């Protein structure tokens, strides 16, 4: 059974001076404003499509890495991942870099790196980006 997710955006005006509001169907996030300056200049209290993509990528990656580690007999105690998505005006999204730290009993650094690289290639968001956006992963064990 396929899972569907949806969001709605209403935009008014041209790109440089216009503005919009976006809402996710689940209601888990409050409706938020989107503008071109917020996207390209990153002002406090605003977000962008790229920041939302980074949130999606980091959460998807953690789920995939957790599953991969557990499948290999090393369930993680904790994973903390951050994704940094780079957007270049006029060119688009260029990269998504994931940095992950994990507390994983029974695995060494090389094994953790291999599992993280695999998750970076195979989580569904990475799959959606594949061929269009460079995805890189940096992994380290905690402690």
The tens digit of pLDDT for each residue in 73-120 reads 999 999 999 999 999 999 999 999 999 999 999 999 999 999 999 999
Tell whether 18 and 76 lie within a shared domain.
Answer: no
- Same-domain check for residues 67 and 89: yes
pLDDT exceeds cutoff 80 at 43 = no
- Which distant-in-sequence residues (6+ apart) come within 8 Å of 100 by Cβ? 61, 62, 65, 79, 80, 81, 82, 116, 137, 138, 139, 140
**Number of compact structural domains in the chain:** 2
Q: Report pLDDT for 92.
A: 93
Listed in sequence order, the residues at least 6 apart from 136 whose beta carbon sits closer than 8 Å to its beta carbon are: 95, 96, 97, 98, 120
Establish if 55 belongs to a structural domain: yes
Place of tokens 């935009």: 11
**Is residue 111 domain-resident?**
yes
Same domain, 21 and 89: no
Within-domain flag for 1? no
- The pLDDT score that the predictor gives to residue 47 is 86
Position 54 pLDDT exceeds 90: yes
> For the chain, what is the mean pLDDT?
93
Q: What is the pLDDT of residue 116?
A: 98
**Coil vs helix vs strand at 97:** strand
Query: Do 131 and 71 sit in the same domain of this protein?
Result: yes
Indicate if 134 and 72 belong to the same structural domain.
yes
Domain range holding 17?
Answer: 7-41
pTM greater than the 0.85 cutoff? yes
Confidence category of residue 69, pLDDT binned at 50, 70, 90: very high
Instruction: Report the DSSP beta bridge partners of residue 37.
Output: none
Q: What confidence tens digit (pLDDT) does each residue in 25-36 have?
A: 999 999 999 999
């Amino acid at each position: 059974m396929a899972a569907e997710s949806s969001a709605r955006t209403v935009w008014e005006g041209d790109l440089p001076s216009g503005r919009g509001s976006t809402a996710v169907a689940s209601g888990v996030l409050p409706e938020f404003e989107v503008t071109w300056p917020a996207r390209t200049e990153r002002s406090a209290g605003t977000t962008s499509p790229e920041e939302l993509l980074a949130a999606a990528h980091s959460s998807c990656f953690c789920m995939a890495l957790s599953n991969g580690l557990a499948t290999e007999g090393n369930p993680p105690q904790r994973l903390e991942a951050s994704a940094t998505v780079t957007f270049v005006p006029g060119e688009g999204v260029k990269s998504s870099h994931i940095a992950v730290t994990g507390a994983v009993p029974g695995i060494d650094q090389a094994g953790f790196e291999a599992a993280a690289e695999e998750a970076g290639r195979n989580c569904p968001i990475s799959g959606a980006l594949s061929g269009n956006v460079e995805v890189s992963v940096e992994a380290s064990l905690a402690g």
